[in-house]
Amino acid sequence: MTTVPGQSTPQPSLAGGPGQRVPQNDATNLRIDHLTAGYGRVQVVSDFTARVEQGEVVSLVGRNGAGKTTALAAVAGLRYAPAGGTVYIGDKNLSGASPNTMVTSGLGLVPEGRRIFKEMTVLENLRLGAYTHRRQRKLIEDDLDRVHELFPILAEFSKREVGGLSGGQQQMIAIGQALMGRPQFLLLDEPASGVAPVLVDEIYDRLHQLVEGGLGLILVDQSIERALEHSSRFYVMDSGTNVLFGDSSPAAIEDINPIVLGSEGVGAA
């Protein structure tokens, strides 16, 4: 487990493919250093450091309450208490930036629990994702076409209310909504939660399609096996800090399980 985060990933091709995102600048990576975050006076994240290159998936795993959701939210500019540390996209210092600035700088967040609007239609939810450039109609239509190409069911169900759709379909909407913000980097919190297994596979296939098109992804998944399967590198968070990182080989689970499951859970894993 001696990998230096983000060091050896080759630059991906940004050409072609239905999942292609249009890069907004020459950013090559997202770098988070010594991030702190919490709620009021309670500090939950004490030292979170991570990086992801364009065209790369890294996973973030850890036991319940370790601080993963809080860390991703803080990176995206959602701060519930004073936060410290630095966040860069390429050369751009985004430390302490607002959620709007993060979106316009190329960062998207798909929060845990899919914060989409259940009484609104699929299309209305997708359009909301383009709020930072809502006057650029042609761009929005092109992006909608891309999202529909990625998840055809969202075109088919365009006029339906979101509340009546399955967990997997709602997750696709949440991802689609984030894509409408034109991210270069996406923070994805528990995309498999409440989603039928067959749709989990489909969602991950589509995510990999986006990554091949140049998207950089930080992924939180409760299943360590699935997190390792779908990422090239991993970070383990415990009590608000990174305690382990490395390449996502199947063997890595031997090192991760004792931290995430505790010694009593390892035999049962």
Strand pairing partners for 237? 242
Q: Is 227 in the site for ligand ATP (CB under 6 A)?
A: no
Q: For residues 202 and 197, what is the distance between their CA atoms, to the nearest angstrom?
A: 9
Between residues 66 and 188, which has the closer beta carbon with respect to ligand ATP? 66
Q: Is 64 in the site for ligand ATP (CB under 6 A)?
A: yes
Q: Is 94 in the site for ligand ATP (CB under 6 A)?
A: no
Among 63-71, 101-109, 115-123, 124-132, which window interacts with ligand ATP (CB under 6 A)?
Answer: 63-71
Between residues 79 and 133, which has the closer beta carbon with respect to ligand ATP? 79
Q: For residues 188 and 111, what is the distance between their CA atoms, to the nearest angstrom?
A: 7
Q: For residues 93 and 155, what is the distance between their CA atoms, to the nearest angstrom?
A: 37
For 46, other C-beta atoms within 10 Å of its C-beta total 16
Between residues 110 and 130, which has the closer beta carbon with respect to ligand ATP? 110
* DSSP 8-state symbol, 115: -
Greatest pairwise CA separation for the chain in angstroms: 56
Nearest of 20, 27, 23, 54 to residue 142 by alpha carbon: 20
Q: Is 69 in the site for ligand ATP (CB under 6 A)?
A: yes
Out of 70, 169, 242, 257, the residue judged to bind ligand ATP by CB under 6 A = 70
For 132, other C-beta atoms within 10 Å of its C-beta total 16
- 254 to 1, 80, 115, 117: CA distances (angstroms): 11, 35, 34, 40
Out of 11, 22, 65, 205, the residue judged to bind ligand ATP by CB under 6 A = 65
Q: Is 44 in the site for ligand ATP (CB under 6 A)?
A: yes
Site map 100..119 versus ligand ATP, x via CB under 6 A? ------------x-------
Q: How far is the CB of 68 from ligand ATP (least distance, A)?
A: 4
Q: Is 184 in the site for ligand ATP (CB under 6 A)?
A: no
Q: For residues 162 and 182, what is the distance between their CA atoms, to the nearest angstrom?
A: 22
Site map 2..41 versus ligand ATP, x via CB under 6 A? -------------------------------------x--
**Full DSSP string of 188-202:** EE-TTTT--HHHHHH
Residues that bind ligand ATP (CB under 6 A): 39, 42, 44, 62, 64-70, 112
